[in-house]
Amino acid sequence: MVFRTLAAAAALLVATGAAQAQFTLDERFTDADGDMIADVPSDPAQLVDPSTLIFAYTPVEDPAVYAEVWAGFLEHLEEATGKSVQFFPVQSNAAQIEAMRAGRLHIAGFNTGSNPLAVACAGFRPFAMMAASDGSYGYEMEIITYPGSEIESVEDIRGKQMAFTSETSNSGFKAPSALLASEFGMVAGEDFEPTFSGAHDNSILGVANQDYPAAAIANSVKARMLDRGVVSADQLEVIYTSQTFPTTGYGTVYNLTPELQQQIRDAFFSYDWEGTALAEEFGRNGEDQFIEISFQEDWAVIRQIDEANGVQYTCD
């Protein structure tokens, strides 16, 4: 197992002249306080107070599984807000961002890599993240293969196929792309054949079933799949482990009324995890509480990786 610092890899790409992307909010939004997220509108006419709140969790695995996992928490949200709350089973990061941008999604958990785009283009205001009881949080990007693949190191991927998840995923695409280019001099389409599986569980299953010789994945998803017996440890080998990244960020769309946003925020931090489906599922990663986060500070390394990859926060 190899450990590297992807922030350094991203910084190297910036220093050596890779295309850069400055993080800015869409012109629809303002940021008068400089915290890098959309301000809540001061004009009451621009605020919304829907009778039914729509919640979506990042589409990393089968949405049907997570509808049940989140059911108890959504009941807690209903009690805290006095409103009906519905689970929206999104199929892609792009669909999730578009739903919030169009006003059809009010509360969401966006994955690490899509957080900046959701903030910039959809008016997402993240404020919470799952963590362990001691306050520690995050996951690592891993590059995995299967026993007998003849891939023993990252360099061995050269000339072979490598699976990514989606272009908005940090661990499934952005971070490994920065790493492969800066540290190993390997560019997709030139030094190896890229393919996209659509989700972390698809990539993990693809490697376990020997459909992909290698893949970049989030080890938090792998841990949950191992715990549920979807795959077994002897089907996978890890050849690279990154630094720790922030995990899914939870928050609201910017134009809910301030009172409603505060009620939702309070609901996250007052939720009792003990004995819940949420604790059973995410306890596999050691997570058992929500903690407060700052997009400006906690996502700095992710924005740096985006900058290194030349990501453009296009909101059209």
- Determine the residue type at 203: S
84-87 and 52-57: which strand pairing? parallel
Give the closest residue to 136 by CA, choosing from 291, 267, 7: 291
Question: Residue 214 contacts by C-beta under 8 Å, 6 or more apart in sequence?
Answer: 143, 144, 145, 149, 151, 157, 160, 161, 162, 163, 207, 239
Domain-terminating residue out of 190, 212, 245 = 245
Residue 314: inside a domain, yes or no? no
Residue 295: inside a domain, yes or no? yes
Count CA within 13 A, CB hemisphere, residue 203: 31
22 and 132 co-located in one domain: yes
What's the rounded mean pLDDT across residues 146-160?
97
Residue 313: inside a domain, yes or no? no
CATH number of the domain residue 61 falls in: 3.40.190.10
70: tokens are 């989140």
Residue 5: inside a domain, yes or no? no
35 and 96 co-located in one domain: yes
Residue 303: inside a domain, yes or no? yes
Residue 30: inside a domain, yes or no? yes
123 and 271 co-located in one domain: yes
123 and 265 co-located in one domain: yes
**Cα distance between residue 136 and residue 194, in whole Å:** 33
18 and 128 co-located in one domain: yes
66 and 163 co-located in one domain: no
Percent of the chain with pLDDT over 70: 92
Give the pLDDT confidence score for residue 22 in this predicted structure.
Answer: 74
132 and 255 co-located in one domain: yes
17: tokens are 């002249």
In which domain, by residue range, is 177 found?
Answer: 139-245
CA distances from 203 to 30, 59, 142, 168 (A): 38, 14, 11, 15
Read off the pLDDT of residues 184-225 as tens digits, 9 standing for 90 and up: 999 999 999 999 999 999 999 999 999 999 999 999 999 999
30 and 98 co-located in one domain: yes
Residue 7: inside a domain, yes or no? no
Please state the φ and ψ torsions of residue 31, each to the nearest 5 degrees. Answer: -140, 65
What's the rounded mean pLDDT across residues 116-131?
97
| Strand partners of residue 311 | none
Number of domain units in the chain? 2
236 and 146 co-located in one domain: yes
CA distances from 44 to 82, 105, 141, 256, 262 (A): 21, 20, 43, 10, 16
In 135-211, DSSP assigns E strands to 139-145, 161-164, 193-196
What's the rounded mean pLDDT across residues 113-133?
96
Read off the pLDDT of residues 90-121 as tens digits, 9 standing for 90 and up: 888 889 999 999 999 999 999 998 999 999 99
Question: Residue 139 contacts by C-beta under 8 Å, 6 or more apart in sequence?
Answer: 112, 171, 218, 219, 220, 244, 245, 247, 285
271 and 123 co-located in one domain: yes
CA distances from 33 to 9, 30, 36, 39 (A): 31, 9, 8, 8
